[in-house]
Each structure stands twice: as structure tokens, then as C-alpha cells.
């Protein structure tokens, strides 16, 4: 028998067994979403709190795009040509360090970016970047003007 103040594991029947473990990974996360440029114009809001099931940028985007499908078209590149612009400097033959791109379908369109706590998602873990309660996700698609 446990003494007062000691923690003991409850019997499996009380915790729900393996089913409880499966739902434990479906926890909700609330992040602050900040919008700029075209995204702000589209949603008519600069900042809002968003709660979703899961804890990755991918889970956040899946739910957000389900609710606001126009954002997926604004932010996510469907092909390599959508993700790059002809004005980018050519890539050198040999790059220093380790370089990798997000896979097609997980890249933003040219000039649009998704940031987590001020860091580009592609510099973190792409769409698999972990999100924690209170993190900031910025959806950036600036206005571009040309003369």
C-alpha cells in the first residue's frame, strides 16, 4: 500500500489501457498565428489564437487549410517551379555544409514563408517541426511591387 504523498501507477483498467495511450498523442495545442501581406488581407486579421489537434506544423497546417482552403493556394507550392523564381541566383555546383530542401508539396511559393517562433520552417524540421503551447506561427506573404 502506498504511503501518503507517494504516487503509484493506477491499474490499467483505470487508465484506459492502450486506447488512452493512442489518444494521448492527439493532444490539442494552441499557437498564436500572425499574418502579413496577402495573408492578412485575405483573413482580415493580423493575429489570432488557433487550437488544433496534434503538435506539429503539419497538423496545424492541415487543420488551418481545412478551415481556410484559400491559404493553401496562397502559401504552398504544388511544383518546384512554384517554389522558385527566375530571379534567384544560380546554385553553385558545390554547396558548403549540408543543404536540403523541403519535398515538393511541402515548400512555400516564391516569396511566401511560414515561420515558427521567428525561424523559417525549412531551417527547422520542415512541416514536421514540433509546436508547443504558446508558440508563434507566422504566415508571411509580402506585397511585392515592381516598377
Per residue in 33-64, pLDDT (tens digit) is: 999 999 999 999 999 999 999 999 999 999 99
* Residue 64 belongs to some domain of the structure: yes
Beta pairing partners, 53: 28
* Residue 20 belongs to some domain of the structure: no
Distance separating alpha carbons of residues 122 and 54, to the nearest angstrom: 20
Distance separating alpha carbons of residues 31 and 142, to the nearest angstrom: 22
Please give the residue that has the higher pLDDT: either 64 or 9.
64
* Residue 110 belongs to some domain of the structure: yes
* Residue 118 belongs to some domain of the structure: yes
pTM of the model: 0.71
* Residue 86 belongs to some domain of the structure: no
Q: Give the residue numbers spanning the domain of 75.
A: 26-81+104-138
Which residue, chain included where needed, has cell 495511450?
Answer: 21
Q: How many domains, in total, are found in the chain?
A: 1
139, three cell numbers: 504566415
* Residue 114 belongs to some domain of the structure: yes
The radius of gyration of the chain from alpha carbons, rounded to an integer in Å, stands at 20
- Looking up residue 39, the CATH number of its domain turns out to be 3.10.20.30
Q: What is the DSSP string of 103-118?
A: PTTSEEPTT-EEEETT
Average pLDDT of span 17-40: 77
* Residue 15 belongs to some domain of the structure: no
* Residue 89 belongs to some domain of the structure: no
Q: Mention every residue, 6+ apart, whose C-beta is less than 8 A from residue 83.
A: 77, 101, 104, 107, 108, 109, 110
pLDDT at 131 over 60: yes
Q: What per-residue confidence (pLDDT) applies to 23?
A: 46
Looking at every residue in the chain, the average pLDDT score rounds to 80
Q: What per-residue confidence (pLDDT) applies to 48?
A: 97
Helix (H, G, I), strand (E, B) or coil at 79: coil
Average pLDDT of span 117-139: 94
pLDDT (tens digit per residue) in 70-91:
999 999 988 877 777 666 667 7
Amino acid at each position: 500500500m502506498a504511503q501518503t504523498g507517494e504516487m503509484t501507477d493506477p491499474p490499467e483498467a483505470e487508465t484506459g489501457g492502450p486506447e488512452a495511450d493512442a489518444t494521448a498523442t492527439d493532444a490539442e495545442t494552441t499557437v498564436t498565428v500572425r499574418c502579413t501581406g496577402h495573408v492578412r488581407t485575405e483573413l482580415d486579421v493580423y493575429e489570432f489564437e488557433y487550437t488544433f489537434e496534434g503538435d506539429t506544423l503539419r497538423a496545424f497546417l492541415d487543420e488551418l487549410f481545412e478551415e481556410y482552403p484559400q491559404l493553401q493556394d496562397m502559401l504552398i507550392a504544388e511544383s518546384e517551379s512554384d517554389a522558385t523564381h527566375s530571379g534567384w541566383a544560380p546554385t553553385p555546383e558545390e554547396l558548403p555544409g549540408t543543404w536540403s530542401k523541403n519535398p515538393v508539396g511541402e515548400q512555400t511559393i516564391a516569396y511566401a514563408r511560414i515561420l515558427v517562433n521567428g525561424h523559417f520552417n525549412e531551417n527547422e524540421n520542415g512541416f514536421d517541426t514540433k509546436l508547443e503551447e504558446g508558440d508563434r506561427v507566422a504566415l508571411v506573404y509580402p506585397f511585392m511591387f515592381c516598377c
